[in-house]
């Protein structure tokens, strides 16, 4: 069981680039971490091992983010292993790309199920179960401002996640729980690189004044701020994109 001063974080999508970096960064700040995965158990276990090698505490737990029963069991793991839960970092999501005119509607539905329903499910559980002094950190995308072609379904799902974030922050009045969203720009993760040519990657990297892609560690610093010292930031969308938008 956790001691009375240890804070506990659940990172959904902890097998992915930003999720792993966030889990490791929070562990460095003294959090015990539940590393959630949907399909990548091996990668989630690698994340947990990296945390423990660095002297932290971590366990893994799997489940479909859009399945309320499966995710309730993940929240149970946090409480059983570490005594409670203080911070939710919800990085899990999918990003199939296609023009609106060409996207298969089954793919569209899958994006909304994972990215919208999934956010609603985990936020609902967090709203019910986080301890006072906690934080809910959802993930949006800078594409809601950049309006890049082919990102219609994904940006629509993240626009919904932003709306949920801003409303939930107001609904949790009196609970001492902050609710914010991080909106990364193009970030060097497997999710970003999938299906892109080097020319597209280079052009995208040059869009911001820093002239590079973000790194998962760049985004994890924003997560750590919101999870720890950033208590006066609430009900906001923080754009972490090097100045692209």
Question: 3-state SS string over 103-149?
Answer: CCHHHHHHHHHHHHHHHHHHHHHHHHHCCCCCEEEEECCCHHHHCCC
Cα separation, 233 vs 191, whole angstroms: 28
- pTM to 2 decimal places: 0.95
Cα-based torsion angle of the residue sequence 116, 122, 126, 128 in order, rounded to the nearest 10 degrees: 90
In the set 37, 151, 154, 239, the catalytic residue is: 154
Name the CATH superfamily housing domain 8-235.
NAD(P)-binding Rossmann-like Domain (3.40.50.720)
| Residues 165-197: tens digit of each pLDDT | 999 999 999 999 999 999 999 999 887 888 889
How would you write the pLDDT of the chain (245 residues) with one tens digit per residue?
444 468 999 999 999 899 999 999 999 999 999 999 998 899 999 999 999 999 999 999 999 999 999 999 999 999 999 999 999 999 999 999 999 999 999 999 999 999 999 999 999 999 999 999 999 999 999 999 999 999 999 999 999 999 999 999 999 999 999 999 999 999 998 878 888 899 999 999 999 999 999 999 999 999 999 999 999 999 999 999 999 97
Cα separation, 132 vs 33, whole angstroms: 18
| Residues 138-156: tens digit of each pLDDT | 999 999 999 999 999 999 9
Active site residue 154: yes
């Amino acid at each position: 069981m956790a001691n009375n001063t240890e804070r506990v974080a659940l990172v959904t999508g902890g097998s992915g680039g930003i999720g792993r970096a966030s889990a490791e960064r929070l562990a460095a700040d003294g959090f015990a971490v539940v590393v959630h995965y949907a399909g990548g158990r091996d990668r989630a276990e690698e994340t947990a091992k990296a945390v423990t090698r660095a002297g932290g505490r971590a366990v893994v737990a799997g489940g479909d983010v859009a399945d309320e029963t499966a995710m309730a069991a993940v929240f149970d793991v946090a409480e059983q292993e570490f005594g409670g839960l203080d911070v939710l970092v919800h990085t899990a999501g999918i990003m199939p790309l296609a023009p609106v005119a060409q996207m298969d509607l089954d793919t569209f539905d899958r994006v909304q199920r994972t990215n919208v329903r999934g956010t609603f499910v985990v936020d609902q559980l967090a709203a019910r179960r986080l301890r006072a002094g906690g934080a809910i950190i959802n993930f949006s995308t800078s594409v809601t401002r950049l309006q890049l072609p082919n990102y219609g379904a994904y940006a629509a799902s993240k626009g919904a996640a932003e709306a949920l974030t801003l409303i939930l922050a107001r609904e949790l009045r009196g609970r001492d729980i902050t609710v914010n969203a991080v909106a990364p720009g193009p970030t060097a993760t497997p999710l970003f690189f999938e299906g892109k040519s080097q020319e597209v990657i280079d052009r995208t990297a040059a869009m911001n004044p820093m002239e590079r892609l973000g790194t998962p560690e760049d985004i994890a610093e924003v997560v750590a701020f919101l999870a720890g010292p950033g208590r006066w930031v609430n009900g906001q969308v923080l754009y972490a994109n090097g100045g692209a938008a």
